[in-house]
Amino acid sequence: MTGTFKQKNSGNVLVLLVYGLILKFSIFLHPQAPLQQPDDHFLYRWLISFLHPLNLWPGVYSLISYLLLYSQALLLNRVCNAQKMMAKPSYLVAMSYMLTTSLIVEWNYFSAPLLINSLLIWLFYRLNTLYNSPRPGSVVFNAGLIMGFITLLYQPAIVFVLFLMFAVFIVRPFRIKEWLIGLLGVTAPYYFLGLLLFLTNQWDWKKIQPDISFSLPPMPGSIFVTISIALLVLPFIIGGFYVQNNLSKMFIQVRKSWSLLLVCLLISMLIILINGGTNYVNWSLCIVPLAVFHGAAYFYPHSRLFPAIMHWIIFGYALYVNYWLPA
């Protein structure tokens, strides 16, 4: 399977669709309504309040979730190929995304972090274009605007503002003007939302104020969660090792892209410490950078046997988690 996705063949788009359905068809067998958490922010709560009166069959949300995951995998793969993050274009990142999101059952359901991942991939693309942009101010503002919507979906995601600041520092020479433009973009959605609430006599600062607190993340409740975490971490370490060994062969812009992913992963892990909660839904915010490093772990080894064995072990375990473990 890794050999199939290692080739840049347009038919892999269809293969990925079938591959994802095999992994995730259980969400259609056991459909669930959208997940709601205390840390959801105004936009997601508004979306749920809009959808609730429609009384949609839970299977509709399963279909939306799958289409979101599938589109995210293809979009992330396209961004990585466009930025030449590996020596040759492939579909390994898309495969890795579908595979890693199958290791925790909650990551397949409709939730605020699932929506955020789409915006996070878009943000990663915008920040990558910043390096050669003739108008960096507009790119930084648009990135800040995306960040503002991210924070309005999920309260702990306010920490991603640090990612925006670090990203501008990594990609561009230090200019305080660009940092301020980025922060202006972050606050723009809050300004217009506050204005809308004021004009409709619904103004309440608490509706848009993030409620941030720090707490330890939940400890793995079973051996299966521990195995899932291990299967996320080990390919990441392997992929990071190969990326480090090949950095000297990469253009400086590609090196900066890998640095952005690493910073994104660190910030995502910091979110786990903010309003840690009692489940692993917000852990899915780590998947975007992890999937790219997993793709590198499948791409760079010269032997075909090692990536194949690693893939089928994770694939088989993901099937067990999604089909047999819930029962």
pLDDT at 214 over 70: no
> Cβ atoms within 10 A of the Cβ of 257, count?
24
d(CA 11, CA 262): 31
Residue with more model confidence, 54 or 75:
75
Residue 35: DSSP 8-state: P
What is the mean pLDDT of the segment spanning 16-45? 86
d(CA 28, CA 281): 19
Tell me phi and psi for residue 52, to 5 degrees. -60, -45
pLDDT of residue 275: 64
Continuous segment of H or E residues that includes residue 299 = helix 287-299
Residue partners of 25: CB distance under 8 A and separation at least 6? none
d(CA 227, CA 204): 44
Q: Is pTM beyond 0.75 here?
A: yes
Residue with more model confidence, 281 or 131:
281
pLDDT of residue 291: 92
Average pLDDT of the residues of the chain: 84
pLDDT of residue 72: 94
pLDDT, one tens digit per residue, over 79-125 is 988 888 888 888 999 999 999 999 988 899 998 899 999 999 998 88
Continuous segment of H or E residues that includes residue 171 = helix 160-171
d(CA 200, CA 181): 29
pLDDT at 327 over 60: no
Do the Cβ atoms of 96 and 121 come closer than 8 Å? no
Residue extents of the structural domains in the chain? 2-324
Of 68-82, 103-117, 174-188, 266-280, least confident by mean pLDDT is 266-280
d(CA 210, CA 164): 18
Q: How confident is the model at residue 217 (pLDDT cuts 50, 70, 90)?
A: low
Of 109-118, 162-171, 276-285, 298-307, least confident by mean pLDDT is 276-285
Of 28-32, 176-180, 213-217, 322-326, least confident by mean pLDDT is 213-217
Cross-strand bridge partners of residue 274: 214
Residue that is written with structure tokens 């995730």 in the block: 24
What is the mean pLDDT of the segment spanning 161-185? 83
pLDDT of residue 292: 92
pLDDT exceeding 70 applies to what percent of the chain? 92
d(CA 100, CA 123): 21
Residue 247: DSSP 8-state: G
Residue with more model confidence, 109 or 133:
109
